[in-house]
Structure 1
Amino acid sequence: MSRPNRPLSVLIASDTYPPDVNGAGYFTSRLAEGLAERGHRVHVVCPSAEGAPRVAFNGRVTEHRLRSAPIPFQPSMRAALPLGMGGHIDRVLRRLDPDVVHVQSHFPLSRSALRRGRAAGVPVVLTNHFMPDNLYAHARVPRSMQRAAGALAWRDMIRVAAEADHVTTPTPRAAELLREQGFAGEVEAISCGIDLERFHPRSRPQDRAAARAGLRLPDRDTVVFVGRLDEEKRIDDTIRALARIVPERDAQLALAGTGQREGELRALAAGLGVADRVFFLGFVPDEDLPLVYAAGDAFAIASVAELQSIATLEAMSTGLPVVAADAMALPHLVAQGGNGFLFPAGDPLLLADRLLTVLGPPRIREQLGRASREIALEHDHHRSLERFEAVYTRVRGRGTVRPAVERVVVA
């Protein structure tokens, strides 16, 4: 694997970044911080969390926060405003003179950084975290229009990705999806990675009991989920499955996250008679997430729109058995009968059956959990950082200045 022979200068551009709560934002911040800890000079261009532009210093990472406005229907997230965006990025490029620009999407800020970088002769790497399914609920796209809207969104994404010097995505399945949508270039699958030291097994019963007490959960068999409480996550399937297993197991469900469907999910739990067994933990800060997994006996994810699922990797690294929908990239993380089980997406009956299996005898649970940890070891974030360092080293020097006309038309 090619490694840099000197510290690199990297400009990372992302349309979402903490305090935004989503997988792409978390990945981008961990990438930036990880690269900086390895001695590289890292700057991030992202939306301002307050609205006004500013420069912030987060440890060794310099954040260029661009002027932003709230995203419609998403009051907790902001988007960088187009006016002045291109000029701001140009100034950062001139001051930093990066070896590479790494953009995290095809959305306006990332797209502008890609084109400004190419116009300045800097090679650009694009990582795709995009699936239309993750946007339908946020953009309030009617179900009757989702197929057409998804096709348009994919065409736009593929067109932008074709302008990059190198494209990566988190899993082989995500790379395959890009090719299915018409991307003709090379796609490299690089895991988002997981901090194996932060998320480590705590298998003693007293550890789980202490974690539950810290979260104010009863001390009983606990299924956990970490993520947004939105439509594509299909959390209603998990609640329906819980209602089916409660007569046989003294079990509960802990949901760490917020989202548009929380009210509906609370009503569903009440209607199924399990309101006292479904716990909505709300937003859990990143530093406290290990406690959520430590409180669990199993992790369940019914989502149909995961290009990898950092939360599932975190649960596996903590040593939890996994029950996951057989959809998108989740099968890459589950060895059927090894570290858990898959179930047909949208089938809460089979989800309940799989949960009863993993919540069975402690020796079975521990065996599945050990296998989860072994699989998670393959996703060590240090290995992912090395892979990105190698990509940056390969593309360094490939950048070519684009015709002047393109400098005029970019945002």
Structure 2
Amino acid sequence: MPIKRIVIGADTYPPDVNGAANFAHRLAVGLAERGHDVHVICPAAQGPVPGYDGPTVHRVPSYGTPFHPSFRVSVPWRIRGAAVRLLDRIAPDVVHVQSHFGVGRTLSGLARRKGVPVVATNHFMPENLVGYAPLPGRLAAALSRLAWRDCVRIFGRAQIVTAPTPRAVGLLREHGLDGTILPVSCGLDLRRFAQPPAERTDGGLRVLFVGRLDAEKNIDVLLRALALQPKEPAVTVEIVGDGSRRGELEELARAIGVADRVVFHGYVDEQELLEAYARCDVFCMPGTAELQSIATLEAMAAGKPVVAADAVALPHLVHPGVNGQLFPPGDVAALAAALGSVLGDAATRARMGDASREIVARHDIADTLDTFENLYQEAAATPRHFQHARDGDRHEHPAHSGR
């Protein structure tokens, strides 16, 4: 049966700014451009929402939270009626959920009862949420265990589960998820970021970070490493993004004497983002909860060397001495040394930037879309008795991360 009508269930979607929201949008738009009838079901946003071409977006009731200024949640008992009506009206051939939260769990449960195939993609690590609440270590660890257990329970409803990298798949298996689990890159429009470096006359060097300014991104480590860089040539850190820790980070920059060498841009538009990638010399990702890191992919597509924490999925992208360097998470001195080794030689930066483009070539969004079209067909043909975990190891798809 050809797959034509697709429902994408997303608990975060633009105008939200984060990797999961951006991926859901790229996936929906890309599938719509290929002729599929795509419907996105996601939480209502606060304030006006810009229009988007391609998929039809259905917003369900949502509520703000005390832990994050912009993130909104939809609770199952409040949205179930709307979700039932939408699924009845759309009559999808497949439901693809992007999380195990309110929208994802509601749609996956309803779809399973209606006999509609379910595909699920995991973008979640407990660190993405625990950092917003000031919890003591033991309580945070217990909450993380409960969150993983809940994730596994909800994703167990799907015929096929994907995660962006082999390491992300491994985390799901380690926490008890059985069935077909595949690594599929979130993908990127590589041509959009392929551009020559910007010409600069300031004589200095620039390190760029792009992402949410939240706890698990560890931007404080980058600022402290900046303080250890030599005064000449001058090194400037540009930070693109916003989040709950921005005020603290600005205060830290002043306290350690680097405020004059740090630029906080906040959220920027697409052209400004491209310009930021073009003018930087090195991209830095100190985060420790990256299941893939879209920003790192973008920087690599722009031909930049990357210095990143040796954590979770970042080693899939950063190959030490080839396209950048890895450093032990949280180690300020090691990050300073890694940045210095890359910043110190223009020929090294050029060689590593070329290697970044070669490595990222396997992450083109077209391959990701091909893969999900195939997986939707596969899910539709899978009997309701789900396959055992080992079956997933036999699958080969061109957009697998880390291939």
TM-score, scaled to structure 1: 0.89
SS of the equivalent of 2:289 reads coil
> Contact 2:76 / 2:106 at 8 angstroms: preserved in 1?
no
Q: Which residue of 2 aligns with 1:340?
A: 324
Q: Which residue of 1 aligns with 2:144?
A: 150
1:18 aligns with 2:19: no
SS of the equivalent of 1:187 reads strand
> What whole-Å deviation, never above 9, does each CA across 1:73-116 have from its counterpart, x for those lacking one?
22212222444411211111122111100000110111000011
> In structure 2, what residue type is equivalent to 1:373?
R
> In structure 1, what residue type is equivalent to 2:167?
R
Q: Which moved more, 1:246-255 or 1:155-164?
A: 246-255
Picking from 232, 238, 243, the partner of 1:259 is 243
> In structure 2, what residue type is equivalent to 1:125?
V
Q: Which moved more, 1:68-77 or 1:316-325?
A: 68-77
Q: Which residue of 2 aligns with 1:215?
A: none
Q: Distance in 2 between matches of 1:147 and 1:81?
A: 24
Picking from 160, 173, 195, the partner of 1:179 is 173
> Contact 1:70 / 1:78 at 8 angstroms: preserved in 2?
yes
Q: Which residue of 2 aligns with 1:407?
A: none
Q: Distance in 2 between matches of 1:160 and 1:7?
A: 23
1:32 aligns with 2:16: no
> What whole-Å deviation, never above 9, does each CA across 1:57-88 have from its counterpart, x for those lacking one?
62121000112221222221222244441121
Q: Distance in 1 between matches of 2:246 and 2:103?
A: 30
1:128 aligns with 2:113: no
Picking from 254, 260, 268, the partner of 1:276 is 260
SS of the equivalent of 1:236 reads helix
Q: Which residue of 2 aligns with 1:209?
A: 200
SS of the equivalent of 2:228 reads helix
Q: Distance in 2 between matches of 1:336 and 1:83?
A: 48
Picking from 279, 288, 291, the partner of 1:295 is 279
SS of the equivalent of 1:222 reads strand
> What whole-Å deviation, never above 9, does each CA across 1:328-374 have from its counterpart, x for those lacking one?
00000011100001111111111111111111222211110000011
> Contact 1:359 / 1:365 at 8 angstroms: preserved in 2?
yes
Picking from 333, 348, 367, the partner of 1:349 is 333
Q: How does 1:10-409 map to 2 (within 5 A)?
A: 10-50=6-46, 58-203=52-197, 207-209=198-200, 220-398=204-382
Q: Distance in 2 between matches of 1:27 and 1:261?
A: 24
> In structure 1, what residue type is equivalent to 2:257?
G
Q: Distance in 2 between matches of 1:51 and 1:226?
A: 25
Structure 1 residue 287 displacement after superposition = 5.0
Structure 1 residue 181 displacement after superposition = 0.9
SS of the equivalent of 1:18 reads coil
> Contact 2:159 / 2:179 at 8 angstroms: preserved in 1?
no
SS of the equivalent of 2:263 reads strand
SS of the equivalent of 1:16 reads coil
Structure 1 residue 39 displacement after superposition = 1.2
Number of aligned pairs?
A: 385
Q: Distance in 2 between matches of 1:6 and 1:199?
A: 33
Structure 1 residue 397 displacement after superposition = 4.2
> Contact 1:325 / 1:343 at 8 angstroms: preserved in 2?
yes
> Contact 1:319 / 1:372 at 8 angstroms: preserved in 2?
yes
SS of the equivalent of 2:239 reads strand
Q: Distance in 2 between matches of 1:268 and 1:383?
A: 42
Q: Distance in 1 between matches of 2:378 and 2:180?
A: 14
Structure 2: which 5+ runs fail to align?
Answer: 386-403
SS of the equivalent of 1:247 reads coil
Identity of aligned residues (%): 49
> In structure 1, what residue type is equivalent to 2:200?
A
> Contact 1:234 / 1:302 at 8 angstroms: preserved in 2?
yes
Q: Which moved more, 1:120-129 or 1:288-297?
A: 288-297
Q: Which residue of 1 aligns with 2:399?
A: none
Structure 1: which 5+ runs fail to align?
Answer: 211-217, 402-411
- Please, what is the CA RMSD of the aligned residues? 2.0
Q: Which residue of 2 aligns with 1:408?
A: none
Q: Distance in 2 between matches of 1:294 and 1:174?
A: 29
SS of the equivalent of 1:178 reads helix
Q: Which moved more, 1:79-88 or 1:298-307?
A: 79-88
Structure 1 residue 222 displacement after superposition = 0.4
> In structure 2, what residue type is equivalent to 1:370?
D
Structure 1 residue 144 displacement after superposition = 3.5
> Contact 2:64 / 2:71 at 8 angstroms: preserved in 1?
yes
